Structure formats: structure tokens, C-alpha cells
Amino acid sequence: MQIDLTGQVALVVARDGPVAEAVCAALAANGASVLVGDPAADSPQGVVTEALKGTGRLDILVFISPTFGEAGGDPQASDATGAEFRSLVAAADDCVLAASHALAQTRGRIVVIGSALGLLPARRHPLRGLTDAALFQFARGLAMRLGPREVRINALALGAISGGAGDRFAAGEVELLSHTAPRRPGTLQEVADAMLFLVDPENSCMTGHILPVDGGLIAGFARDF
């Protein structure tokens, strides 16, 4: 997907990982200047402040849940500890509040990226579902708060995403992928294209939406009745 982000500044707050790399590459390929911040930083506000120092503006903020860090987008990966996720929404809130004034000046866009398990709880991964469900509800609430300032916020709910030729999904996880319509994992390019759709300046009437990129997992393919 190609959009025009020439002259725009994007801040991606994320852990290192293939999803974050794909998002950054797609933004840069479409003309944006891309800055990267760590969601585990002691001061999320400081991440935004530091980004604004060099540019003076901010058009796009992408916050990627730590559920899509080193695991690369595996919705069956082991849950992190409660301590690791306890401050997730607080960190996202701090980032958005610090960036809201700059985003309001540019009719900015925010994208929150998390796991589809935030919309379809899994009995073996209750913590992951709980944390990303909270993150998605946070995004919806922000859409109402920031709407009058012409800042749009949407979210991506990701299912199994293949991070490259050597990962488990590229090789094929039959049990998990049998619960999706295409019987394959999503690709990093498909994640990047969905993100670009949400930040496209021409897409000006869409806010508060959670867009699944999950092969139909939460639409019901996971049910056996």
C-alpha cells in the first residue's frame, strides 16, 4: 500500500521485533521521518519530549504492545509476568498525553497494536487477553477524548504473524492456523498495509475502530460448533 506521508513525523513506541521493524520500514518508505522509543522507558513522557526536540512536530504515534516484542506476533507464546504488563496502559496513556498537543496541531493519528487475544480470550493465556483488552478499551476511550481536537486513534488486533522464513508460523503451526480462514499466518507486509490504511491522511473519518488482522480468528473460525 502506498500513501503520501511526505514531511510528516512518526514516533513508534515499541520493543525491538519484526512487527516494529515492519511498521517503521513502511512509514519511512512512504515519506515519513521515523523516530523510535522504548515502551519500557522510565519516563514515557520523556520519550515523546525527546522526539519533539528534534522535529518540533508529530503527525503519527504508533504504540505497539509488548505482546508483539521479541515473540514476533505469536498469540500462543507464554504470558509475561504480571509485573511486566502492570504498567502497559499507564505507559500508553503517558505517551499519548505527552504527544496530544503536538498531534492536535497536525490532525495527528494514533495506532495502537496488540494481540487479537484482547478480543477473544484464551483460557491458557488469560493475562495476555486481559492486558490487550484493556489497551483496546483505552484506545476507544481516547478516541472520544481526542476527537474534538481532530486527533484520530484506531487499533490493530493481530493474530499469528509470520516474522520470516525461519519462524514457527512460516514452517506451519497446523493446530493454531486451522482456526483461521486462509490456513496461514498473516505476513508482516499485511500488518504494515493495515497500519498505513489507519494513518492515511485521506482516511479522515475513521476513529475508535479496532481492525483485526487475524485470518478470521475472532470472527468465529476458532469455534468447533
9-219 topology per CATH: Rossmann fold (3.40.50)
- What is the pLDDT at residue 141? 92
Q: Which residues of 73-104 are buried (b: 16+ CB within 10 A; e: fewer)?
A: bbbebebbeeeebeebbebbbbbbebbbebbe
* 225 residues of the chain, pLDDT tens digit each: 899 999 999 999 888 889 999 999 999 999 999 999 876 665 767 778 888 887 889 999 999 987 665 444 444 444 455 555 556 777 777 888 888 889 999 999 999 998 888 888 777 666 767 778 888 998 999 999 999 999 999 999 988 787 754 455 444 456 666 666 666 778 899 999 999 999 999 999 999 999 999 887 777 665 664
Q: ∠31-46-29 over CA atoms, to 5°? A: 10
Domain spans in the chain, listed from the N-terminal domain onward: 9-219
Q: Please give the pLDDT value at position 70.
A: 47
208: left (phi over 0), alpha (psi -120 to 50) or beta: left
